[in-house]
Amino acid sequence: MVAAPGLPRWLSLLAALSLSGLLGCAPGNVWVYIDNAGDEPLVVKVDGKEAAKIPPGEFAELNYPPGEYQFLITAGGQTVCDLKKNLEKSDTFGRTRKYLFNPDKNNCYGSYEVKYGGSRLDGVMEASLLSHQKDPKIRAKYAYNKLLKEIDLVSTDAWNDVSGVEYILSPPPETMMTRSGSSRRVTVLDRLDKDDYRRLKEMSRRDNPDDADVEELEELIDEILSKAL
């Protein structure tokens, strides 16, 4: 954090912390993103107090200090889930602990990186090294594995730790300022089509991909990203 002109660094930091508290986002709080994949609104109660009403297809962001909480979620008067969850304190300095909660496990998710800025030399070294590889099988496997890394599939469990993701179920900025010749990457978590999720999961298990597999995977990833936030 850059201190404001004329203010000591510690005073700027104190002001930032005070502002966080006023906004209800105390440093060290744990964020919980609850996604409604059903056809009816979800009513969320935490420790007996109503915390959110989530319309179908929408999500809610809740944040609490680390600790154990009772989550009761109902839809149409019926209990979707009633469980106790320990919201663990972040174990990484400067990174907020975040959880994604998909109560009925009806949605599939994946995360991907968005890159802002760049250099003319991006990828030059990699392309040069790859051009010296004469074995087509090794080249295909390298390209295939690189493509698989473009989308990180999230477990189909109801609860997932998604700490480190900057944009959860929300679109990233269209533009971002970067220094000349430099780049910045942010991670986005989005809902995926169930069939796309299944196909990508199956393709991640292929041991000896060839050029046709690379082409198929590239088309699938392009299709998934074309639907992204």
**What is the full DSSP assignment across 172-224?**
PPS-----TT-EEEEEEEEEE-HHHHHHHHHHTT-SS--HHHHHHHHHHHHHH
Residues 169 and 217 in one domain: yes
Domain count, the chain: 2
Residues 64 and 100 in one domain: yes
pLDDT tens by residue, the chain, 229 residues = 333 334 444 444 444 444 444 344 566 899 999 999 999 999 999 999 999 999 999 999 999 999 999 999 999 999 999 999 999 999 988 899 999 999 989 999 999 999 887 654 455 445 555 666 678 888 889 889 999 999 999 999 999 999 999 999 999 988 777 776 677 889 999 999 999 999 999 999 999 999 999 999 999 999 999 998 7
Residues 95 and 120 in one domain: no
Residues 130 and 206 in one domain: yes
Residues 116 and 87 in one domain: no
The CATH number of whichever domain residue 30 belongs to comes to: 2.60.40.780
The pLDDT assigned to 129 comes to 59
Residues 143 and 48 in one domain: no
Residues 129 and 214 in one domain: yes
Domain containing 80: what range?
Answer: 25-106
Residues 111 and 136 in one domain: yes
The model carries a pTM of 0.80
Closest CA to 194 of 83, 101, 109, 96: 109
> Which tokens belong to 169?
């179920």
Closest CA to 217 of 206, 196, 203, 229: 203
Residues 35 and 50 in one domain: yes
Residues 114 and 96 in one domain: no
Residues 228 and 201 in one domain: yes
Would you give the DSSP letter of residue 28?
A: T
Residues 97 and 197 in one domain: no
